[in-house]
Structure 1
Amino acid sequence: MLQNRVNPFGNIIRTEARGLFMGNRGVIHNHDQEIIRPYKIKTWITCVLAFKNRRRPVMAPDRYTELFFMDEATSFAAGHRPCFECRKAEAHQFKSLWLKGNPDKKFNEKTLIKEIDNILHAERIDKHHLKVTFEESPDALPDGTFVSIGEEPYLLNKGLLYLWSPGGYSKSIPLPGRGKLPVLTPASVVNTFRAGYIPQMAV
């Protein structure tokens, strides 16, 4: 069983469960198909599972490491964004709504996506390779956002929080009445959801 599934904290785990999306962070495995680093490049993307009938062995030597996500909301929480090759429409929509949701960055349509990737990188992982979070009231967050409760990831959707697991979402709980929670989804991506991007959610 390969270590190639990503959870909402951005950690790469081993599980027999399949994912709905694929993605990569560059070459992060060795010739023994072992993960040896959390990322190689700042361009963390989310891809479709099938594209133009391409076939490739998973974790081939010196090729990018195929990572898998249960759904798109999970990939966003981990710090990934849509690929401009295999998910062109979603990628352009994401960029447009990211710009709309984050006017303080002073970017525009001519801004290269690598500039947005630099922002995302600072929002998802620190210099010690630890997950970056921020605090927010759940009732102020848009659907598709992940929060942490007792170090467990929960997806917000339609007024409920759904507990994430590698095989799917299990129990749901109502939003806490008060207080703030650690938010796993990067801050600028949360703003993108507020601006109208609706991530695919397996709930």
Structure 2
Amino acid sequence: MPLQNRVLATGEIIAHPARGMFMGNRGILHGDTRELGRKRWTHKAWVTCVLTHKDWHRVVMTSHRYTELFFLDEAVALAAGHRPCALCRRKDYDHYRQTAELSGPAKDMDTQMHKERAHLRRFAQRRHQFDIATVPDGAVILEKWPMLLWQGTLRPVTPEGYQQPLPKPKGIVTVLTPPTSLKALRTGYRPKLHPTLTGS
């Protein structure tokens, strides 16, 4: 039985057996039974980490340790409100800050991003409305379900990967990817994408 630790682009955390490309951290969300409580974060530093780093080893959902969360790929992680980890992804972290035009302490960046991504009292995702002409490749929008904007098309996102392309709409759309990450994508940040999209 899979654990409830797979994060969707909508911010929902589900149980699903498919393996993701990245791990994330929002603090301790589970109890001794390895089940999630009501909270969906306990701090503002929502990071995206590589699956392996040095020779470190963790038992998933150990009591009193942070809850390991998993993502299909980095585009989904960005849409869910996460950013690169400064420890295990330092090069990506520095590039993200540069392209998002962020300076100052990391806590200031995380505070800004938290306002963009979360309805604080509801533990729910905050979404944004933009003209799709301004939305960059690598962002995720919400039509009937989450869709990655990629090379002039929309690619439906599932826990297993991306489906076949659909036509890109026009006008105002609901965007899941927060504004800070949209700026990074617009000015040169390239997320690591699942092989069902890239073919690699």
Please indicate, yes or no, whether the TM-score normalized by the shorter chain is above 0.5.
yes
How big is the shift at 1:15?
A: 0.4
Among 168, 171, 186, the alignment partner of 1:179 is 171
The residue identity in structure 2 corresponding to 1:169 is Y
Counterpart in the other structure of 2:26: 25
Is the contact made by 2:133 and 2:171 (CA closer than 8 Å) also made in structure 1? no
Partner of 1:140: 134
Gaps of 5+ in 2: none
Taking structure 1 as the reference length, the TM-score comes to 0.92
Query: What is the CA-CA distance between 1:52 and the residue it aligns to?
Result: 0.6
Query: What fraction of aligned residue pairs are identical, expressed as a percent?
Result: 39
Alpha-carbon separation, structure 2, partners of 1:129 and 1:40: 10
Contact 1:75/1:81 (8 A) holds in 2: yes
Q: Secondary structure at the match of 1:73?
A: helix
Q: Is the 8 A contact 1:26 1:64 kept in 2?
A: yes
Q: In structure 2, what is the equivalent of residue 153 of structure 1?
A: 146
| 1:74 and 2:68 correspond | no
Contact between 1:5 and 1:69, CA under 8 Å: does it hold in 2?
A: yes
| CA displacement, residues 49-71 of structure 1 (integer Å, 9 cap, x when unaligned) | 00011111000000010000000
Q: Mapping of 1:94-173 within 5 angstroms?
A: 94-99=96-101, 108=103, 111-127=104-120, 128-150=122-144, 152-173=145-166
2:185 partner SS:
helix
Question: CA contact under 8 A between 2:11 and 2:124: conserved in structure 1?
Answer: no
C-alpha deviation, 1:194, in angstroms: 0.9
State TM-score, norm by structure 2: 0.93
Say if 1:148 and 1:154, in contact at 8 Å, map to a contact too. yes
Match of 2:191 in 1: 199
Unaligned runs of 5+ in 1: 100-106
Partners of 1:18 and 1:3 in 2: CA distance: 13
3-state SS in 1 of match to 2:125? coil
Partner of 2:65: 63
In 2, Cα distance between equivalents of 1:189 and 1:56: 29
Q: Is the Cα–Cα contact under 8 Å of residues 29 and 66 in structure 2 kept in the other structure?
A: yes
Shift of 1:139: 2.8
Q: Number of aligned pairs? A: 192
Contact 2:24–2:47 (CA under 8 A) maintained in structure 1 = yes
Q: Distance in 1 between matches of 2:133 and 2:155?
A: 14
